[in-house]
Structure 1
Amino acid sequence: MTDSSRRSPLRIALSIVALTLAAAAGFFIWQGFYPVRAAAGWNVQVLESGVKKAASIVPLPDGGLLVSQELKDGQGNILRITPSGERKVVIDGLSKPDGLIAARGGWVFSQEADDKPVQMLQDGQLSTLFQGNSVQGLWDDGDALYAIEDRHDSGRLLRYRWSDGELSVVRDRLDEAESVTRCTDGRLLYTQKNLGKLRQLSDDGNDPEILGGLNKPTFVMCDARGIWISEDSTHRARLLLWNGKDEPQTVLSFLKAPQAIVADGKGGYLLAEGGRNRVLHLSPAQQQE
C-alpha cells in the first residue's frame, strides 16, 4: 500500500469535517442576516439602526425616543433620539443599562450588574432610589416601583414605595427572572428566562406558571391585545402575543436577541432588537402608510 493510499481515508475524513463546519458556520451566518418576518396582519420596519445592544425604549412626548444601549463595564448609556434623527447621550458610564421606564415625570433606569443602583432622572437631576444587584426589569404602577433582579437562584422582586421610599422584598431566590409587568386585570407577571416560563404573582407565594415552553423569555408587556413576550435568543427568536387561553401567536420571527417592547402611542409598537443593534416599528397592516 502506498503512502498516498494510506492518507486518502484521512484526507476524506478531514474534508468531511471541514465541509460540516463550513455548513454549520454558513447556517448561523444565514440566520444572522435572514430578514425578520411578520405574521399576516402585521408590518415591521427598521425605525433606528446603529443603536448598540438596544435594550429598553421610552417614547417621548415630542416624538423622539430614549433607548438604553446595554454595553457592559461602564460603556453603556442612555441615548436620546430626536424626531429629526439627531442623537445625544443623556447618561453615560453605565454597565448594562437594561430597564428603562417613564415614571412620575421622569425616567427610571437600572443596570444589570452587581451593586448598581436603580436611579431616576427628573428635571435634569439624577437621584438614586435604591441599591440592587443585576436589576433588569422595571414596572411602575403609580404607587410603587417594581424591580426584578436577573440572578441565578438569588434574584429578588423588589417593591419601592414612592410615598416614603420604603423598599421591600416581594420575592427572593428567583432564578433568572428578567421582566415584570402588571396587566389591566391587576395580575402581576414575571418571566424566568432559563426555565422558559411566565409566572403570575400570587398571594400565597406559589406563583403559578401560566405559560411554559418558551425559548428564553425576557421582556413581557400587557395591553388590550393580550400579553406580549420577547425571546432573548440569538437565533430564530420570536415576538409572541398570547390571549391567555390558546397557543401564543408568533407575530415576529427570525429576530436576534429582542428585548423590550413598548406601545408607540399610535396603535403600534417599538421593539428593541439588541442582537442587531436596532429599533423596530411594528404596526397592524391597516396602519401601513
Structure 2
Amino acid sequence: MNISLRWVHRTLLASLLLIVTALGFFTWQYFFPVQAASGWSYRVAYEDIQKAAGLARSADGGILVSQELQDGQGSILLIQPDGEREVVVAGLSKPDGMLATRGGLVFSQESGDKPVSFLQDGRVSSLFQGNTVQGLWDDGHYLYAIEDRKGDGRLWRYRWDDRQLSVVRDNLSETESITRCSDGRMLYSEKESGVIRELREDGRDPVVLDGLRNPTFLLCDEQGLWISEDSTHRARLLLVDAQGRQTTVLSFLKAPQAIMALEDGRYLIAEGGRDRVLELNMPRASGADG
C-alpha cells in the first residue's frame, strides 16, 4: 500500500511539474520582448487595439487599424495624430485587408461570404462579393483581392472603370496577401506551404521564396520585400533585399499582420497577438546627426 501511495504521489508530482513547466514556457513566450536586428529599433505606438490586423493612412493624416474580431464584433478604428480614437466602421467579421485608394478605403472581411467594400465620405458600399477575402492590392486601374481558403481560394481582379470582375486564379490554398514590386513583379503568399509565388501570365506562378514559417502580409518598397509571419509565438518580420539577402528585422513577435511605411524610415506593424501596433525605425546612416 505504501509503495502504491508513493507511486501515485510521484506520478502526481511529475504531472504537476510538467504542467508548471508548460505554463511557464508559454508565459515566457508571451511576455518575452520583441527583439530587433542590430541597428533597428522599435517602440509601442498604439496599445489596446483588439487583434490589430490591417493598416492604412486616412486622408486627414490619421491611422486606420482593423480590429479582427469575429461574428460582427470587428471594426475599423481611426486614430488621429493627437491620439483621439473613433470607430468608423462597426459590425464587421474579421476585417483584415485594408487599402487606401481613390479618396477612400477598400477593406475585406475574412469571414464567410462577405463583400469587398469601399468606405468613402462616411458611407460604405459593396464593390463585389468574395469568400474569405484577405489580401488586397490596387494599381490604379485594377483592384486585386485574394481569398484565404483551403484549396478553393481565388484571386479576383476588379476593374474600377466599368466594374468588370474576373477570376485570375482559382484553386488556391491559404493565400493571404498580394503585392506588386517596383520591378513589376506581382507576388502572393501561401501560408501553409511557407512560400511566396510570382504571379505570371502563363499561369505557372513559380516559387520565388520558400522555407518560410506561415508567411502572411507582403509589402514591397525601396528597401525590398517585407514579409510578416502569422505565427502565435516567435514570429518574425523579414526583409529580403534586391540581392536576395534575408534579414530578420524583428523576432519574438506574436501574430504580426500588416506593415505600413511612414516617413523618415519608419514603419508601423500590427501585432494582433498582443493587441497593439509597433513603430519600427530603420538604422541611421553612418555619420547622421545625433
TM above 0.5, yes or no, is yes
Contact residue 242 and residue 249 of structure 1 kept, 8 A: yes
Amino acid at match of 1:233: S
Q: What do residues 82-120 of structure 1 show as CA deviations (whole Å, max 9, x unaligned)?
A: 111111100000000000110111100000011100010
Q: Residues 154-233 of structure 1: matches in 2 within 5 Å?
A: 154-233=152-231
Q: What do residues 144-177 of structure 1 show as CA deviations (whole Å, max 9, x unaligned)?
A: 0000000000110100001100011000000000
Contact residue 34 and residue 253 of structure 2 kept, 8 A: yes
Distance in 2 between residues matched to 1:150 and 1:246, nearest whole Å: 27
The unaligned stretches of length 5 or more in structure 1 are none
The answer as to 2:101 corresponding to 1:103 is: yes
Amino acid at match of 1:265: E
User: Which of 59-68 and 228-237 deviates more?
Assistant: 59-68
Amino acid at match of 1:93: G
Aligned twin of 1:146: 144
Amino acid at match of 1:235: H
RMSD: 1.5
Contact residue 259 and residue 269 of structure 2 kept, 8 A: yes
Contact residue 58 and residue 100 of structure 2 kept, 8 A: no
Q: What do residues 3-33 of structure 1 show as CA deviations (whole Å, max 9, x unaligned)?
A: 1222212321221122122111111111101
Aligned twin of 1:129: 127
Contact residue 41 and residue 285 of structure 1 kept, 8 A: yes
Could you tell me which of 52, 64, 67 is aligned with 2:65?
Answer: 67
Contact residue 135 and residue 176 of structure 2 kept, 8 A: yes
The answer as to 2:251 corresponding to 1:279 is: no
Equivalent pairs, count: 287
TM-score with structure 2 setting the length:
0.96
Could you tell me which of 90, 93, 98 is aligned with 2:91?
Answer: 93
Aligned twin of 1:34: 32
Deviation at 1:269, TM superposition (A): 0.6
Deviation at 1:59, TM superposition (A): 2.3
Contact residue 43 and residue 288 of structure 1 kept, 8 A: no
Deviation at 1:206, TM superposition (A): 1.1
Amino acid at match of 2:77: L
**Aligned-pair identity (%):** 59
Could you tell me which of 15, 18, 21 is aligned with 1:20?
Answer: 18
Distance in 2 between residues matched to 1:51 and 1:239, nearest whole Å: 20
Distance in 1 between residues matched to 2:111 and 2:262, nearest whole Å: 29
Could you tell me which of 110, 114, 117 is aligned with 2:115?
Answer: 117
Amino acid at match of 1:57: L
Contact residue 62 and residue 83 of structure 1 kept, 8 A: no
Distance in 1 between residues matched to 2:244 and 2:6, nearest whole Å: 57
User: Which of 17-26 and 206-215 deviates more?
Assistant: 17-26
Aligned to 1:72, the other structure's residue is in SS state coil
Distance in 2 between residues matched to 1:51 and 1:186, nearest whole Å: 34
Contact residue 180 and residue 188 of structure 1 kept, 8 A: yes
Aligned to 2:8, the other structure's residue is in SS state helix
Deviation at 1:285, TM superposition (A): 3.4
Distance in 2 between residues matched to 1:211 and 1:233, nearest whole Å: 18
Deviation at 1:218, TM superposition (A): 0.4
